[in-house]
């Protein structure tokens, strides 16, 4: 597609339920990133994929969070047993090259985000 | 440990004047810096970048200045327009790592 596509754009879920967020990166981009922005906070890195593998999972806040990427394209971020503090905008981004993470002209392009509210 | 800091959470500027957004970093290994702009309910969009081998990069109304010795960069917008009102994120990159973002500065340009 022309840009990074995320779904759902908005999700309201009950505390304790599982949630899946989907990201469709720009076609041909090998690197995919998940970030989170909580209310009033900056962007928080969650996980990075190079192809289908995730060399950096350091940002995942707890073991309730997991992500996978299949076919070097679509990625799914899953949050199990959601808590109210999980409420945030979850942003997916992609870049052409892997491993350089935005440096030296390898710009990262963001989707519009999935707004998650846990009630 | 916040390696990229934007100490001003908000900035208000009159239309037509210059907007200066500041960013400080602590890690001398960062070698590429970017600014992203974010409107409400949208993802951040890339605005302008600068490599550590330069001290200035200009693109239209937007100029980014880098002072490596001070570990400081700034984004200048001149002249500022109401449509520039958004949250601006500074981001820094070091080889082999992810982008590290600052907390953002909300710019409000008043007509």
Task: Give the DSSP letter string of A27-62.
Answer: TT--EEEEEEE-TT--EEEEEEEETTEEEE-TT--S
* Residues on chain B touching A105 (C-beta within 8 angstroms): 49
Task: Tell me whether B40 touches chain A (CB under 8 Å).
Answer: no
Looking at A1-15, A46-60, A82-96, B18-32, which range is the least confident one? A46-60
A56–B41 CB contact, under 8 Å:
no
| DSSP 8-state secondary structure symbol assigned to residue A85 | G
Residue B84 in contact with residue B75, Cβ under 8 Å?
no
CA pair distance A40, A86, nearest whole angstrom: 14
Share of chain A above pLDDT 90, in %: 52
CA pair distance A62, A65, nearest whole angstrom: 6
Structure confidence at residue A100 as a pLDDT band (50, 70, 90): very low
Region B83-108: what's the mean pLDDT? 86
Phi–psi pair at B85, nearest 5 degrees: -60, 120
Dihedral sign, CA of A118, B3, B4, B10?
A: positive
Length of chain A (residues):
119
A82 in helix, strand or coil?
coil
The alpha-carbon gap from A47 to the nearest alpha carbon of chain B, in Å, equals: 9
Give the residue with greater pLDDT, A97 vs A60. A60
The pLDDT assigned to B69 comes to 95
Structure confidence at residue A106 as a pLDDT band (50, 70, 90): low
Task: Tell me whether B36 touches chain A (CB under 8 Å).
Answer: yes
Task: Tell me whether B43 touches chain A (CB under 8 Å).
Answer: yes
Nearest to B46 by CA among B100, B106, B90: B90
Give the residue with greater pLDDT, B110 vs A103. B110
The distance in angstroms from the start CA to the end CA of chain B is 38
Considering only alpha carbons, which residue of chain B is nearest residue A38?
B103
The alpha-carbon gap from B88 to the nearest alpha carbon of chain A, in Å, equals: 10
Region A5-14: what's the mean pLDDT? 95
The pLDDT assigned to A105 comes to 52
B42–A112 CB contact, under 8 Å:
yes
A93–B42 CB contact, under 8 Å:
no
The pLDDT assigned to A98 comes to 60
Does residue A31 carry a pLDDT above 90? no
């Amino acid at each position: 597609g022309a840009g990074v596509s995320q779904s759902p754009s908005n999700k309201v879920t009950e505390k304790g339920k599982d949630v899946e967020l989907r990201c469709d990166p720009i076609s041909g981009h090998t690197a995919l990133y998940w970030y989170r922005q909580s209310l009033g906070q900056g962007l928080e890195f969650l996980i990075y994929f190079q192809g289908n593998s995730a060399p950096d999972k350091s940002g995942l806040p707890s073991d309730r969070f997991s992500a996978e990427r299949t076919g070097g394209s679509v990625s799914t971020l899953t949050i199990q047993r959601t808590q109210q503090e999980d409420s945030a905008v979850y942003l997916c981004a992609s870049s052409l090259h892997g491993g350089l993470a935005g440096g030296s002209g390898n710009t990262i392009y963001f989707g519009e985000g999935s707004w998650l509210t846990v009630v | 440990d916040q390696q990229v800091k934007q100490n001003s959470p908000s900035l208000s500027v009159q239309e037509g004047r210059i907007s200066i957004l500041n960013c400080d970093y602590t890690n001398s290994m960062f070698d590429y810096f970017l600014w992203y702009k974010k409107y409400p309910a949208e993802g951040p969009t890339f605005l302008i970048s600068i490599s550590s081998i330069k001290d200035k990069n200009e693109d239209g109304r937007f100029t980014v200045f880098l002072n490596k010795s001070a570990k400081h960069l700034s984004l200048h917008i001149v002249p500022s327009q109401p449509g520039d009102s958004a949250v601006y994120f500074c981001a820094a990159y070091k080889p082999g790592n992810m982008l590290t973002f600052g907390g953002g500065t909300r710019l409000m340009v008043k007509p």
